[in-house]
Amino acid sequence: ELQTLGAEVTPELTIHACVPSTNAWLLARAGGLPKGSVCLAEAQTAGRGRLGRRWVSPFGCHLYLSLLWRFEDAAAAAGLSLAVGVAVRQGLLRLGVEGIELKWPNDLLWQGSKLAGILIEAVSEQQGPCSLVIGVGVNGTMPAAAARQIDQPWVDLHTLLGHAPPRNRLAACVIAELLALLHAYEEAGPALWLERWRAHNCVLGRSVSVQQGARVYTATAVDVAPDGALVLVDAAGRQHKVNAGDVKLRLG
């Protein structure tokens, strides 16, 4: 499916036994690799999550995948974050995982427990062309030693399906959906994906605890904006718009 890109240069698929982080690996090579290139690893020694958190990445158990994409205009990538969650959800649906909910901005939860996480990092945040690395981690079979290091409820594919699907197949499903999303998104922008995100989210209409730096407040999540920001209304009726890079969100 990488061939359907129509790019002048064929994207590269690199599979490592172990890297610090597949996102970091692609970010460091973003200038020299074609759009659509993918990096996979069996293990990460410094797997990273959103907001500076660590992503526990034991060998041979889970999916650690990063995909490089380029947008002509950095502004066009606003709103992509939610869309990527929708695409990964769709990839897991191909494997028979139903009932995944999206927690803003793009966590994949199953009955409140985290199944997969997404970290999108930009090479350049300035105006003009922008390279993005889309990192996806999906829990396959969680070993007990790794589970002890995770400080939030989690679930894995092994538990949900009764077996862990072959990780090649898991990677293929996720990559196929990401590429389909990125092509469609370039053509049509975020509107359709925002609708899909709304259809499968577990945040809108709920009370949430928002941590923004040292400040913590409770509010009701009411909508998402086209740029992917979450729209909240606090107890005093004031409306807030918060960006994914700035806040931690807890469901009330």
3-class DSSP assignment, residue 62: coil
Identify residues 94-133 at the interface with ligand BTN (CB under 6 A). 107, 117-119
No. of helices (H) and no. of strands (E), the chain: 6, 12
Rounded to a whole number of angstroms, the minimum distance from the CB of residue 63 to ligand BTN is 8
- Site size toward ligand BTN, by CB under 6 A: 20
CA 21/CA 205 separation, integer angstroms: 35
Minimum gap (Å) between residue 105 Cβ and ligand BTN: 10
Amino acid at 126: Q
Q: Which x/- pattern over 50-89 shows residues binding ligand BTN (rule: CB under 6 A)?
A: x--x-x--------xxx-----------------------
Residue 49 C-beta: closest distance to ligand BTN, Å = 3
Nearer to ligand BTN, 212 or 220 (CB): 212
Give CA separation, 12 vs 2, 29, 32, 34, 151, in Å: 9, 11, 11, 7, 35
Site residues (CB under 6 A) for ligand BTN, limited to 170-189 = none
Tokens standing for residue 118: 């997404």
Which C-beta is closer to ligand BTN: that of 47 or that of 140?
47
Examine residue 37 and tell whether it contacts ligand BTN (CB under 6 A): no
- Cβ-contact 173, 92 below 8 angstroms: yes
